[in-house]
Structure 1
């Protein structure tokens, strides 16, 4: 049998590509060759298959030491503990924290951003309209560099907010270091224009904005910089729902009152006609495991995020330690497979605000900033 030290680097890379992320992290410390292979931007683990991770950031209003950050890898079925924010980011008054694919942002009083798992923050030129709790999207320009779109939110001036101002859309190009001003959300969204009442999805060159409770939907053309006509997207019985951009489809996910009682449903959305067709219903026992059935308004704390072929549903209340599950949608057949996410590694603090989002992860992204950026929680082997 050939000793592993005598194998070609191409064969070593192929063997390593079958390992899950948490094993690759340890393997990268074996020798310089393995580290150079695993940390290369071109290295693509087959076992990982680019499944989006679920990120959960818990913020405490009065004591930043109680903040905690976690990431869930659906391939290894493990939670990882992440470093908390630098103290200067945590303690800024009125700071609005937002996470979206690959990045984390603060929007007030100043706008700054960092790549997930990295420690350094980049401060941008000032927004034309300082705002809290906006919708945020990340997309690539013609050169492949990321750009940021900021939509809605509540205007922030000193210690006052203005909930009536719709605020113009602003697009930031890091290569130019400047913001471009675009038309604001349509007037139909005036009464609810922050991320607390809206969800968003980047799909097919358009930035979709959807009212979680109002069910209004409109899309912003990323090339023409115009908004589409506002429509209503409300399947029968829907109480509230979230719009999600999956790999090959727009998906609406939400709580629905049906003939057999409450259910959590997924619908495929035709982006041209905004017509919907049901694709899955969460198993009833899984749904009820996310909260206590005796609660008043028990569904209100359910939130939903997604990316690729995964849709994550979680409870942002502390009493059950933020339980979550996800649905994997087969890209070819469209069939759905539901699975419970393991409990967060204890101890878990009680948070005043929970931030969640999905993002794809590469080994280059993890190892680029050093080993301290991510590590398995205590108790995992």
Structure 2
């Protein structure tokens, strides 16, 4: 044992228990103290307080140069942090110039799209971006999803009154390994009738993209490798009539569906299902506690829609009209654990004049060690989830 390791002789279960209360971002430096500490950190993260997906809030100025402030929430540590992005004037490959509105879809993918450029990031803290040529057809409000090594951009320019149907393929696929675009000439009629992200919810796993009509719940799947659609699927089960709005996401064991019951002016409840979409087999159903529904509504009783982000066993739901409040639930072994977090650092009034984008990411200790050049600033503790 080295002299330094002798000075850090505390170990075993005691050290692992202490580590379980240390924020993940602070374990970056602790992991280099000694080999015994590295072993204890690894064991503690595996057994006591596991790494959980981070919630990311990106607040973008609507004025040039469209600067973005990113806040990250770590549910494991109950801690908000600010992510300092590399300067866009640097020569680093990670730097990015925000040339259009920032968007997310689904969960971990951030992108910007203009008539001349397409930029995207799937990096956990979005420190690294790739810039590519844009799709052949211009779509003001497309459905976008990352499926394996492909990024799918779907939607019709004709829907927005810009071009005729024949001038834009309904769907284009970007291959991230070759940097090339491919066309797909087919899209279900029910989706083409609502071919914009305003009306469609999208989810993706490593093999397929799932697209669901938010008002009806009618859902289809698309395989970018074979360019084939399957469906329609009924993801609402017996709640087709009582649910007026629903969104989808891909979780660790299947599809997550979150729906609003009642009507926009009087949301009676928020319900969540976990199911196997292609067999339409419902696994479990949970109803959001009343006090959390009230938090989602915020100051207004009007809640016409919700946004959903899913990563593993964690589900993040927010009301786009009151985006500072996020309901979090963890689905594990058939049980649902509910909670909520508030982004106190975001001023309620200023949010109304900024583009606010929500995403989530798997941020691991090895990733944080590689991203040392990014400064994470602790903001405040929140109540435990």
Are 2:53 and 1:52 aligned?
A: yes
* Matches of 2:106 and 2:22, distance apart in 1: 23
In structure 2, runs of 5+ residues without a counterpart are 90-95
Counterpart among 251, 256, 263 of residue 261 in structure 2: 256
Match runs of 1:1-381 below 5 Å: 5-6=5-6, 19=19, 23-29=23-29, 32-33=32-33, 45-46=45-46, 49-62=50-63, 64=65, 67-83=68-84, 92=99, 94-95=100-101, 97-100=103-106, 102-109=108-115, 110-114=117-121, 115-140=123-148, 147-153=149-155, 155=157, 161-162=162-163, 167-203=169-205, 205-234=207-236, 235=239, 236-257=241-262, 262-276=268-282, 279-292=285-298, 294-295=300-301, 298-318=302-322, 322-330=324-332, 332=333, 334-345=334-345, 347=347, 349-350=350-351, 351-377=353-379
Verify the 8 A CA contact 1:22 1:376 in the aligned structure 2.
no
* Matches of 2:101 and 2:66, distance apart in 1: 16
Q: TM-score, normalised by structure 2?
A: 0.77
Distance 1:163 1:306, change over 3 A: farther
Q: Which has the higher helix share?
A: 2
Q: TM-score, normalised by structure 1?
A: 0.78
Verify the 8 A CA contact 2:27 2:365 in the aligned structure 1.
no
Q: CA deviation at 1:309?
A: 1.0
* Matches of 1:86 and 1:128, distance apart in 2: 30
RMSD after superposition: 4.0
Verify the 8 A CA contact 2:151 2:175 in the aligned structure 1.
no
Verify the 8 A CA contact 1:104 1:116 in the aligned structure 2.
no
Verify the 8 A CA contact 2:172 2:182 in the aligned structure 1.
yes
Verify the 8 A CA contact 1:44 1:362 in the aligned structure 2.
no
Q: CA deviation at 1:279?
A: 1.1
